[in-house]
Amino acid sequence: VLISVTIIYTSICRHRTSVKIKGHGYCIQIEYGDIFKKDNCKKVINFDECFTTNVGSKPSEIKPTSVCGKYLLSHPIDSTQMQTLIANAGLKPTRSKSKYQNKIRYESGRIVPNDEYLLMAFAKLGEDGRGQFFSQDEFVDCLSILWNEINKYYCQTDVCIPILGSGLTRIGDKILTQQELLDIIITSYQLSTYKLKAPYQLYIVCRKNNDFSLQKIGTTL
């Protein structure tokens, strides 16, 4: 019986597609899926610090395979429209300019609402327009700002985010994996004073890959 139960439990865990984490006054659901297929929720789309809207293969353009690129291909926005959205949100630029062409930049974690989407300033840019690495402290600071911004704009509905920082966050010379980033995101939300009020919850959508498992949540910290 014990062997049968173990086999069944192992099989269920291996094929699990979502995990729910509940705490005092909050609920987080982590699941495999496509953020664009989530209904009845606000969806966070991470842009760069300058809210670049050009999609293409140049270093300074948004990659079409990224979450931001997919969003812009299905919901085209030009730079003028983006500036209107930013102005309507009352979002102020930082005092310092971007390293890329001295452009106006916005603090990582700040949000510009656009219907069901929450457009987020995220990746800092280097001189060539590529996203620069975050330190872990910078990533955590960004998340703290994000939870505050979501609290302002979630409008009494669920919120869905991708795993942020993939390929852009590191500790020293080590680039953090999707597994490590997810644990940081979950812990940051648990510690934040800004959480979605029940019955609304935070969804984190993940990509399936070989170095990631829902069963390993919480094991990297």
211 vs 95, 147, 214, 215, CA distance in Å? 39, 27, 11, 12
pLDDT at 12: 47
pLDDT at 96: 96
Q: How confident is the model at residue 2 (pLDDT cuts 50, 70, 90)?
A: low
Give the C-alpha separation, 185 to 192, whole Å.
11
DSSP 151-168: HHH--SSEEEEE-TTTTT
The pLDDT tens digits for 73-86 are: 999 999 999 999 99
Give the C-alpha separation, 64 to 54, whole Å.
10
Q: How far, rounded to the nearest angstrom, does the alpha carbon of residue 28 sit from its chain's CA centroid?
A: 14
Contact 176/163 with Cβ under 8 angstroms?
no
Give the C-alpha separation, 30 to 58, whole Å.
33
DSSP character at residue 12: H
Phi/psi of residue 92, nearest 5 degrees: -100, 140
Whole-prediction pTM: 0.90
- What single-letter amino acid sits at 15? H
The pLDDT tens digits for 40-59 are: 999 999 999 999 999 999 98
Q: Given a cut of 60, is residue 16 above it in pLDDT?
A: yes
